[in-house]
Amino acid sequence: MVGPVRLVGIDGDDTLWRCQDLFDEAEGAFCELVAPWASPAELGEALALRESANRPLFGYGIKGFTISAVEVAVDLSRGDVPARTVQAILDVGRALLEHPVEVLPDAETAVAALARTHKVVLVTKGDLVDQQRKLRLSGLGKHFAHVEIVSEKDPATYEELLVTLECPAEQFVMIGNSERSDVEPVLAIGAWAVHVPYHTTWRSELVGEPSLGHPRRRAVASLAEIPALLES
């Protein structure tokens, strides 16, 4: 990296703590509950479309997922879905909200090391209450100089964050698992991005052609590599 990086942004879900595979399991449970009316493939597609349509109202997160799942069940069953099945779908959503926070390997060590040398900020999107819960239960909050929970991660969001924190784009690096949310919009504003892969990715976070050869993009196998990368 050319020049000093003084502000480090880190994503939350699937970068610091486990998230998407819990949603994958919840979607599987939903498909089993609504199996009398559609196949898993049809249900997955219908749920993705409904979540996307509902996002302007509900944003990202478990609550939007749960409401969308109930609406899909009602629509595909033409109103015949039993109340007990609706309750079971709601229970799937509640279980997600109550699930213990599982910090990923190397997250604690890496964030602590970065906080000793840089100003570190959490930049995560989703439901405010749920993201605050995850941060609190993760035990990582003490390492962050600033926490930003946003409704979307796009170039404008990152530009506003850098204005607030008085940091030029070329001195900011964002670390995360999502090409769509943590890499592409950051490169678009002239900042740096480090991609840390996770073993499963939500379909809405996929991009067609990642900017693999971009001069300000880096990739690592795990968070453990980040402190040395920034030192170099």
* Distances 150 to 46, 70, 118, 230 between C-alpha atoms, Å: 26, 25, 22, 25
* Distances 156 to 27, 90, 193 between C-alpha atoms, Å: 31, 34, 16
What long-range pairs does 132-139 form, CB within 8 A, spacing at least 24? 133/101, 134/12, 134/13, 134/17, 134/101, 135/12, 137/100, 137/101, 138/16, 138/17, 138/101, 138/103, 138/107, 139/103, 139/108
* Residue 160 CB neighbour total at 10 angstroms: 12
Ordered by start, the domain boundaries in the chain are 7-18+101-231, 20-98
Check residue 179 and report its DSSP letter. I
Size (the chain), residues: 232
What local confidence, expressed as pLDDT, does residue 188 receive? 96
- In contact, 111 and 143? CB cutoff 8 Å: yes
What local confidence, expressed as pLDDT, does residue 213 receive? 84
Give the fold, CATH level 3, of 20-98: DNA polymerase; domain 1 (1.10.150)
Residuewise pLDDT in 10s, the chain (232 residues): 445 899 999 999 999 999 999 999 999 999 999 999 999 999 999 999 999 999 999 999 999 999 999 999 999 999 999 999 999 999 999 999 999 999 999 999 999 999 999 999 999 999 999 999 999 999 999 999 999 999 999 999 999 999 999 999 999 999 999 999 999 999 999 999 999 999 998 887 877 677 778 999 999 999 999 999 998 7
What local confidence, expressed as pLDDT, does residue 1 receive? 46
DSSP letter string, 70-126: HHHHHHHTTT---HHHHHHHHHHHHHHHHSPP-BPTTHHHHHHHHHHHSEEEEEEES
The string over 36-46, giving b where at least 16 C-beta atoms fall within 10 Å of a residue's C-beta and e elsewhere, is ebbeeeebbeb
* CA angle, residues 11, 17, 18, in degrees to nearest 5: 120
The dotted CATH code for 7-18+101-231 is: 3.40.50.1000
- Of 137, 60, 145, 144, the closest CA to residue 101 belongs to 137
For residue 9, what are the β-bridge partners? 121, 174
Q: At what angle do helices 20-33 and 40-58 cross, to 10 degrees?
A: 120
**How far is Cα 136 from Cα 197, in angstroms, rounded to an integer?**
24
What local confidence, expressed as pLDDT, does residue 2 receive? 46
What local confidence, expressed as pLDDT, does residue 175 receive? 98
